[in-house]
């Protein structure tokens, strides 16, 4: 079966294939979307789609994302803005490296070939990208600045190395940032993540935790609430106090963190994280030491997955040591347990079983005492087994007795601080960003390790530190960076003292690349600096960012962090990079994500071949609100084809000439046209593109009717309406719109036609229907002037015979009038 026969656009419509081929070269020549020409006086807009990873050709998800981004970019061009809508590639990373290993090839050509394929597909998809600004993160001209940024952070103490137990993916053979561990699994390959003690590079994002939270007020209402909530959860600030406990037989006291300092008198034991250094030290030399070692081994064998089961029974070991409660001098048993985390707070807690469920579970498992110190009115936790965490009045708590929770917290915090035993403190769930990777295809870390000078930056004039070619390197993951095998490359003279030294062999997490790439587009051809401040001031921040919700935490949090660092450096003049954010949903099939194993893959190229580019773009945009998932089983690309043909057909019906005076045209069709312009614009600016399409469909229906059985094809209003359709359609179906525009007698490109000014007089309806209610129930409908006053409308309602009849014998309590819409008469029937 030939593709000609399977296509559903061959009947009574335009030849989609021909039209697509016809306009691409024309647009290449006109370059309607070139931004930043020197004489351009239009106000600016920066519209950005998250750049893709170049693994294979574009898929349905890309099609949706770029269709949506294109509506926004093209709309603002029509509105007379100088729109920068750039595109590049997030080209470093594991997929390329894994593909290279599998095929025994170099990741570089594989990557560049895929980029070429995707770029060609984007052109055919009619994306309004400004190609003059494109770059790839694997270009040395780009990653050179990645290295520069790393060194900027290094100089400021924001990039540092430390020994730590890190997330390790045994399959990828590399470390992972916290953000890349999803439910205990590697986000890339779903392998259970293990822990490994390593010395690694970190970016100090925790130093910005408070500002990352506070600046969200700038994003409220402009970013999806969902994303803001996710970021808040991820940062996870909690408010409480640090309290110092003396340890018997130890010189140094131990500080614990608690969110409930008011319950200090309810502490009945003390717990340290079993895998912490403190636990090992405390166990040393006690009778429990042997058992502790055994217990610890058992814990280490358990993976993160096991730990995720929060309902598993509590385990622990009494270390035969005691802590002293600073407020009442009580001796508390010190236990080691894995329900306390070594890397949150201080890795040690006071246990208040009456008011913390985890502590209560532990106390009951180990037969430890439970003391209620907050009277909440609920059942005694000793009996119910349910800790009472709510508000209440303090009891059994010395000076706190009788106080409410908040008051008690303030009181005890002040007392602790006075006595030097503690003070109010916040804690965060957020950890520093681990950026080292033991893999090849990434930006080399520009540091030289010198035995005498320590960590020495690669001098600026030696940047970029080029990633050595892959030829001859064994890329197979083995737990250390493949670059380490390149002895010649690794061995260098220390830039400081000249003595033999070694290069750092790790590469950077590719999220470093994407956390600032949006700053590079305005001056991507300037190879003397990461970004040109003048261009940054012109274009940034990004006015509209479009991308998937999968990046709600990782990419967006890192970008916000790095922007703040650059702001503090004085390198940029803003602290939030993305003013507005749109998270499009996923394209799914039959309710679930497309995957080869499910066998529900829909190939973009097949869909484009069958229905044409415009129909696929239209289907994506019209399917529903952009943030909702699109179920391809629910959309009708052939319905889109039908509509586009219906619109196109109108352009051949118009018999008036270009430039005809619209004001002479049929008034009701003119009103429909201007209402469509007005409403579609509002819908697009509110990111409700599906509604905008519905408005265009209405106008198509109205124009069809007017031409066939109304004012006719020669009426100026008919031309105005069809031109309006072409202009509005150009933001979503550019081929169809361009073809219509030409058939209407215009020169290309319709993309630059401009969104006409709506005439306010044409937005006023001749008459409207006012509703008359009695006690909220609709009784009558009156046709009235849209400018009727409240008093007039009320009088008209009361004068209406149906209403007068219904009111007979009743007492009018109240009349609410909202001209010209509604009159509600409240009556009292006795």
Partner RNA sequence: GCCCUCGUAGCCCAAUGGCAGAGGCAGAGGACUUAAAAUCCUCCAAGUGUGGGUUCGACCCCCACCGAGGGCACCA
Q: Could you say whether residue 338 binds RNA (CB under 7 A)?
A: yes
Give the three-class secondary structure for 194. strand
Count residues contacting RNA (CB under 7 A)? 84
Q: Could you say whether residue 365 binds RNA (CB under 7 A)?
A: no
Q: Could you say whether residue 553 binds RNA (CB under 7 A)?
A: yes
Give the three-class secondary structure for 469. coil
Q: Are strands 174-176 and 159-169 parallel, antiparallel or unpaired?
A: antiparallel
Site for RNA in 99-158 (CB under 7 A): none
Taking the C-alpha atoms of residue 70 and residue 618, their distance in angstroms, rounded to an integer, is: 11
579 vs 773 by CB, closer to RNA: 773
Min dist. Cβ of residue 446 to RNA (A)? 31
Q: Could you say whether residue 829 binds RNA (CB under 7 A)?
A: no
162 vs 705 by CB, closer to RNA: 705
Q: Which stretch binds RNA (CB under 7 A): 27-35, 137-145, 595-603, 688-696?
A: 688-696
103 vs 429 by CB, closer to RNA: 429
Site for RNA in 199-228 (CB under 7 A): 225-226
| Cβ contact 13:648 at 8 Å | yes
Taking the C-alpha atoms of residue 256 and residue 236, their distance in angstroms, rounded to an integer, is: 18
Please pick, from the candidates 164, 173, 496, 638, the single residue that binds RNA as defined by CB under 7 A: 638
Please pick, from the candidates 643, 677, 741, 755, the single residue that binds RNA as defined by CB under 7 A: 643
352 vs 613 by CB, closer to RNA: 352
Q: Could you say whether residue 381 binds RNA (CB under 7 A)?
A: no
Q: Which stretch binds RNA (CB under 7 A): 70-78, 88-96, 476-484, 689-697?
A: 689-697
Taking the C-alpha atoms of residue 656 and residue 660, their distance in angstroms, rounded to an integer, is: 7
- DSSP code per residue over 93-142: SHHHHHHHHHHTS-HHHHHHHHHHHHHHHHHHTT----GGG--BTTSHHH
282 vs 470 by CB, closer to RNA: 282
242 vs 524 by CB, closer to RNA: 242
Taking the C-alpha atoms of residue 108 and residue 238, their distance in angstroms, rounded to an integer, is: 45
Q: Which stretch binds RNA (CB under 7 A): 100-108, 514-522, 698-706, 754-762?
A: 698-706
247 vs 519 by CB, closer to RNA: 247
465 vs 733 by CB, closer to RNA: 733
Q: Could you say whether residue 775 binds RNA (CB under 7 A)?
A: yes
Taking the C-alpha atoms of residue 205 and residue 122, their distance in angstroms, rounded to an integer, is: 35
Q: Could you say whether residue 688 binds RNA (CB under 7 A)?
A: yes
Q: Cα-flanking dihedrals φ and ψ of residue 244, to 5°?
A: -95, 125
Min dist. Cβ of residue 758 to RNA (A)? 17
Q: Could you say whether residue 246 binds RNA (CB under 7 A)?
A: no
- DSSP code per residue over 577-633: SEEEEEEE--EEETTEE--TTTT----HHHHHHHH-HHHHHHHHHHSS-TTSPEETT
Q: Could you say whether residue 258 binds RNA (CB under 7 A)?
A: yes
Q: Could you say whether residue 737 binds RNA (CB under 7 A)?
A: no
Min dist. Cβ of residue 17 to RNA (A)? 17
Q: Could you say whether residue 764 binds RNA (CB under 7 A)?
A: no
Site for RNA in 298-337 (CB under 7 A): 307-308, 310, 312, 314
Site for RNA in 42-101 (CB under 7 A): none
Sheet containing 44-49: order of strands: 82-84, 44-49, 542-548, 578-584
Q: Helices 689-709 & 60-78, crossing angle to 10 degrees? A: 70
Taking the C-alpha atoms of residue 594 and residue 602, their distance in angstroms, rounded to an integer, is: 7
Q: Which stretch binds RNA (CB under 7 A): 277-285, 345-353, 414-422, 711-719?
A: 345-353
Please pick, from the candidates 190, 634, 685, 766, the single residue that binds RNA as defined by CB under 7 A: 634
Taking the C-alpha atoms of residue 721 and residue 706, their distance in angstroms, rounded to an integer, is: 10
Min dist. Cβ of residue 271 to RNA (A)? 8
Site for RNA in 797-816 (CB under 7 A): 814, 816
Q: Which stretch binds RNA (CB under 7 A): 107-115, 576-584, 685-693, 736-744?
A: 685-693
DSSP class of 43: P
Q: Could you say whether residue 7 binds RNA (CB under 7 A)?
A: no
Please pick, from the candidates 182, 189, 761, 812, the single residue that binds RNA as defined by CB under 7 A: 182
Please pick, from the candidates 117, 185, 571, 691, the single residue that binds RNA as defined by CB under 7 A: 691
Alpha-carbon separation of residue 276 from 177, 262, 311, 343, 828 (angstroms): 20, 27, 22, 8, 75
Min dist. Cβ of residue 311 to RNA (A)? 8
Q: Helices 613-622 & 637-653, crossing angle to 10 degrees? A: 110
Please pick, from the candidates 195, 196, 204, 358, the single residue that binds RNA as defined by CB under 7 A: 358
Q: Could you say whether residue 339 binds RNA (CB under 7 A)?
A: yes
Write out the two tokens for 663: 């004001």
Write out the two tokens for 748: 């290309």
Q: Which stretch binds RNA (CB under 7 A): 289-297, 322-330, 574-582, 769-777?
A: 769-777
Please pick, from the candidates 103, 250, 534, 821, the single residue that binds RNA as defined by CB under 7 A: 821
Taking the C-alpha atoms of residue 300 and residue 303, their distance in angstroms, rounded to an integer, is: 7
Min dist. Cβ of residue 105 to RNA (A)? 34
Q: Could you say whether residue 589 binds RNA (CB under 7 A)?
A: no
Residue given tokens 């209440």 in the structure block: 392
100 vs 421 by CB, closer to RNA: 421
Which uninterrupted H or E stretch holds 321? strand 317-324
Taking the C-alpha atoms of residue 711 and residue 703, their distance in angstroms, rounded to an integer, is: 9
Q: Could you say whether residue 33 binds RNA (CB under 7 A)?
A: no
- CB-count exposure of residue 111 (10 Å: 0-12, 13-18, 19+): buried
CA-based radius of gyration for the chain: 34
Min dist. Cβ of residue 152 to RNA (A)? 29
Please pick, from the candidates 453, 486, 694, 796, the single residue that binds RNA as defined by CB under 7 A: 694
Q: Could you say whether residue 423 binds RNA (CB under 7 A)?
A: no
Residue 749: asked if its preceding bond is cis (omega within 30°), the reply is yes
């Amino acid at each position: 079966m030939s593709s000609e026969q399977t296509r559903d656009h061959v009947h009574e419509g335009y030849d989609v294939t021909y039209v697509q081929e016809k306009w691409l070269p024309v647009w290449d020549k006109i370059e309607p979307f070139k931004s930043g020409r020197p004489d351009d006086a239009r106000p600016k807009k920066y519209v950005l789609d998250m750049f893709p990873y170049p693994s294979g050709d574009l898929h349905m998800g890309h099609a949706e994302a770029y269709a949506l981004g294109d509506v926004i970019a093209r709309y603002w061009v029509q509105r007379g803005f100088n729109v920068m809508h750039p595109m590049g590639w997030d080209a470093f990373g594991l997929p390329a490296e894994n593909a290279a290993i599998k095929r025994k090839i170099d990741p570089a050509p594989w990557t560049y070939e895929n980029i070429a394929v995707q770029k060609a597909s984007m052109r055919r998809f009619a994306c309004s990208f400004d190609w003059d600004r494109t770059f790839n993160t694997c270009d040395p001209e780009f990653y050179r600045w990645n290295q520069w940024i790393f060194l900027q952070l290094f100089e400021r103490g924001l990039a540092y190395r430390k020994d730590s137990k890190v997330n390790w993916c045994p399959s990828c053979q590399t470390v992972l940032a916290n953000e890349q561990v999803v439910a205990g699994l590697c986000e890339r390959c779903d392998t259970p993540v293990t822990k490994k003690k390593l010395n690694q590079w970190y970016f100090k994002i925790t130093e910005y935790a408070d500002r990352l939270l506070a600046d969200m007020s700038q994003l409220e209402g402009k970013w999806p609430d969902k994303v803001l909530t996710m970021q808040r959860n991820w940062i996870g600030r909690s408010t409480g106090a640090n309290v110092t406990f003396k340890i018997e037989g130890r010189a140094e006291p131990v500080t614990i963190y608690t969110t409930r300092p008011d319950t200090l008198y309810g502490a009945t034991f003390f717990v340290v994280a079993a895998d912490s250094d403190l636990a090992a030290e405390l166990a040393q030399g006690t009778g429990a030491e042997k058992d502790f070692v055994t217990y610890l081994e058992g814990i280490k064998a358990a993976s993160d997955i096991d730990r995720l089961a929060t309902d598993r029974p509590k385990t622990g070991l009494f270390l035969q040591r005691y802590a002293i409660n600073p407020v009442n001098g009580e001796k508390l048993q010190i236990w080691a347990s894995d329900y306390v985390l070594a890397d949150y707070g201080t890795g040690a807690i006071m246990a208040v079983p009456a008011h913390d469920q985890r502590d209560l579970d532990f106390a009951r498992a180990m037969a430890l005492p439970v003391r209620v110190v907050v009277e909440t009115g609920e059942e005694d936790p000793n009996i119910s087994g349910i800790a009472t965490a709510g508000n209440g009045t303090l009891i059994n708590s010395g000076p706190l007795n009788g106080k409410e929770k908040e008051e008690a917290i303030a009181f005890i915090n002040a007392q602790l601080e006075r006595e030097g035993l503690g003070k109010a403190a916040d804690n965060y769930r957020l950890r520093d960003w681990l950026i080292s990777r033991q893999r090849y295809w990434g930006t080399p870390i520009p540091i030289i390790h010198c035995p005498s000078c320590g960590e020495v930056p690669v001098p600026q004039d030696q940047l970029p530190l080029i990633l050595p070619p892959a030829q001859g390197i064994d890329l197979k993951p083995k737990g250390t960076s493949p670059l380490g095998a390149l002895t010649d490359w690794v061995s260098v003279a220390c830039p400081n003292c000249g003595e033999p030294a070694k290069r750092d062999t790790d590469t950077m997490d590719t999220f470093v690349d994407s956390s600032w790439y949006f700053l590079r587009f305005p001056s991507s051809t300037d190879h003397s600096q990461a970004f040109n401040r003048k261009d940054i001031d012109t274009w940034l921040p990004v006015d509209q960012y479009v991308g998937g919700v999968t990046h709600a935490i990782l990419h967006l949090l890192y970008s916000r962090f790095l922007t703040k660092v650059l702001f503090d450096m004085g390198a940029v003049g803003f602290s939030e990079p993305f003013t507005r954010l749109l998270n499009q949903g996923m394209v799914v099939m039959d309710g679930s994500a497309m995957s080869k194993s499910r066998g529900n893959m829909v190939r973009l190229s097949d869909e484009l071949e069958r229905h044409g580019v415009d129909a696929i773009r239209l289907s994506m945009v019209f399917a529903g609100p952009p943030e909702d998932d699109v179920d391809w089983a629910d959309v009708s690309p052939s319905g889109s084809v039908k509509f586009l043909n219906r619109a196109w057909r109108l352009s051949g019906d118009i018999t008036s000439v270009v430039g005809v005076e619209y004001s002479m045209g049929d008034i009701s069709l003119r009103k429909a046209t201007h209402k469509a312009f007005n409403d579609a614009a509002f819908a697009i600016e509110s990111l409700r593109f599906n509604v905008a399409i519905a408005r265009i469909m209405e106008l198509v229906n109205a124009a069809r009717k007017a031409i066939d059985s109304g004012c006719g094809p020669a009426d100026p209003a008919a031309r105005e309406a069809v031109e309006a359709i072409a202009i509005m359609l150009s933001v979503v179906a550019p081929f169809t719109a361009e073809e219509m525009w030409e058939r209407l007698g215009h020169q290309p490109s319709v993309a630059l036609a401009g969104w006409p000014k709506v005439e306010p007089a044409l937005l006023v309806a001749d008459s409207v229907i006012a509703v008359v209610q009695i006690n909220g129930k609709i009784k009558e409908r009156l046709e009235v002037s849209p400018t009727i006053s409240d008093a007039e409308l009320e009088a008209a309602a009361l004068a209406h015979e149906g209403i007068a009849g219904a009111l007979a014998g009743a007492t009018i309590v109240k009349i609410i009038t909202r001209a010209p819409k509604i009159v509600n008469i409240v009556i009292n029937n006795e």
